[in-house]
Structure 1
Amino acid sequence: MAFEPGAAVVVTDPARLATYGRAFRKVGKSVVVVPLGEGVHAGHVQLIRAARSLLGAVVMVTYAGEEVPDVFAREQVDVVYHGRLGEGVAVSTDLDHLEDPAETASRMGALIAAVNAAHATDLVLGEKDFELLVALQRAVSALRVEVKLHSVPTVRTADGLAMSLRNAAVPPELREAALALPAALTAGAHAAERGGEVVLETARGVLAAAGVEPAYLELRNLAFGPAPSEGDARLLGAVELGGVRLVDNVGVPVGIGFSNLEA
């Protein structure tokens, strides 16, 4: 059967996926992988669209849900790998600075397995998993994996909650409490001009006012070291509500503030 671009051709054999990847690269195509889990939401669709925006790219999605959804064909994905790659494989660099080093190492193993299986030139991930992005970039550099990482801003619901299958599981009666996390991070970011300590104090204050105790609240530089006194940083937080752990993050121009960025 002839290959049809944009028809979301489904493959379940890693060898077949590799054959496609090698063939596309031989004719000069970029092979862009969008790694997904067991479900699809608007944030994932945005990742696919970002991948398709890369000029001349062939877009491959890895998906482990029970049935392949029609959205892949509607979004003109070229190839869908239906199954799991890299199970039981963990890739570790210096992960002690992360909230959950073991989970991050496992997820990196699956991502690098997908890159290798597809012979990918590019990998598209969302900034919601910013810790994973940073750790993966370190691993890619350390292992000399020839793939370019692209990050896509977090997609949010109308009320500000980060789009996530996990976040969707928050009980309805705790939805308002869940909104305290993005509100706290946003408030902290808008205090950036006044320095890192004020950023954290502001975020903690919003969470406290909502009666929500953070499981994790950190301000780091973009390499996950100590936050700079002036420059780009990332404010990351997590809360646990109704048995669901919500994580989120925002960019923070510490010591500068959004109003002064242009100057």
Structure 2
Amino acid sequence: MALDTQHGIPVARTIADLRGEVNAWRKESLTVGFVPTMGALHEGHVSLVEAAKAACDRVVVSIFVNPTQFAPGEDFEAYPRTEAADAEKLKDKAALIFAPNAAEMYAPDFSTTVTVMEVTKDLEGAARPTHFAGVATVVAKLLLAVLPDKAIFGQKDYQQLLTIKRMVRDLNIPVEIVGGPTLREEDGLAMSSRNAYLSPDERKVAGKLNVILRETAHAVAKGAPIPAATEAGIAALMEAGFASVDYLEIRNAETLDPFPSGKPDAPARILVAARIGKTRLIDNMPVE
């Protein structure tokens, strides 16, 4: 099957076509960077692609809304699919888009799941119990399809980043996993494809998420006990207009383990997931 060029950038629809292109680059001794996405690209995604381009000779960007990481009742059907607009953002940055359909990624009798223990056991893992198995499985498949030198993942999905690093280490997949910084809107809201779901009033509330997160992290850095600070942070989010808070936690930045003493005694990260209306937002930042 020939590559699709309707968007002005080559698009591979099959793993065979993807591998054909990457193998041709390898024969020229070119290095390969990879940025996996679910599409609906924003400047945060573009920054990851630019980082990959700065580090490697050629960049592949995948666009695939992965069904196995969505639980029943989540927004799989509603998740924005904007391939033409995404391709426009990738011109002069990526050398190839990999945009398979579900049948290409998952055979009808597909029966293998990649499960990463420990780092996925709570936070997002508790709120969305099937999520990380779906993420790890599809990312393993994508990494093995591309076999890039480097793969870039955003730090906004911090627990996901640690999960992928652990999986690659444990399975000896020969890819360097690199975390890219979170890009933010003018009011500090972390860029996300799901921000498009927010109504104007909800968007105003959403802009307070990073502010309260930063205030909570600052309080702990100044000596406040973690339980008291996070409890106050949750109360502030509810007062600001959030409908619910799945979690607001300060954890070890490497393992995501809690701090039993109530004080950080190692590099720490604050992580949050909160809902406004039907939209679920996540964010995180270091405790400095």
TM bucket normalised to smaller: 0.7 to 0.9
- Residue 61 of structure 2 corresponds to 61
User: 1:65-114 CA distances to partner (integer Å, 9 max, x unpaired)?
Assistant: 453421211x4211111224644664211132342241122022111211
Q: Secondary structure at the match of 1:190?
A: helix
Amino acid at match of 2:63: Y
1:119-198 superposed matches below 5 A? 119-191=147-219, 192-197=221-226
> Shift of the alpha carbon at 1:250?
0.9
* Alpha-carbon contact 2:158-2:284 (below 8 Å) kept: yes
**2:250 is aligned with 1:210:** no
Q: What are structure 1's unaligned runs of at least 5 residues? A: 2-6, 254-263
* Alpha-carbon contact 1:196-1:219 (below 8 Å) kept: no
Say which of 250, 261, 275 aligns to 1:219: 250
**2:103 is aligned with 1:103:** no
Structure 2-normalised TM-score?
Answer: 0.78
Q: Secondary structure at the match of 2:249?
A: strand
* Alpha-carbon contact 1:233-1:252 (below 8 Å) kept: yes
Say which of 100, 108, 118 aligns to 2:146: 118
Amino acid at match of 1:239: A
Q: Aligned pair count?
A: 246
* Alpha-carbon contact 1:187-1:202 (below 8 Å) kept: no
Take 1:110 and 1:252, find their aligned partners in 2: how far apart are those partners? 31
1:19-98 superposed matches below 5 A? 19-54=20-55, 56-64=56-64, 65=81, 67-68=83-84, 69-73=87-91, 75-84=92-101, 86-87=105-106, 90-94=113-117, 95-98=120-123
Q: 1:18 to 1:242 in 2, by over 3 A?
A: same
Amino acid at match of 1:67: E
> Shift of the alpha carbon at 1:130?
0.5
Structure 1-normalised TM-score?
Answer: 0.85
1:13-24 superposed matches below 5 A? 13-24=14-25
* Alpha-carbon contact 2:9-2:95 (below 8 Å) kept: yes
Let me know the Cα RMSD of the aligned residues. 2.2
- Residue 258 of structure 1 corresponds to none
Amino acid at match of 1:135: T
* Alpha-carbon contact 1:195-1:229 (below 8 Å) kept: no
Q: What are structure 2's unaligned runs of at least 5 residues? A: 3-7, 65-80
User: 1:22-58 CA distances to partner (integer Å, 9 max, x unpaired)?
Assistant: 332344322111111131111111111111110x431
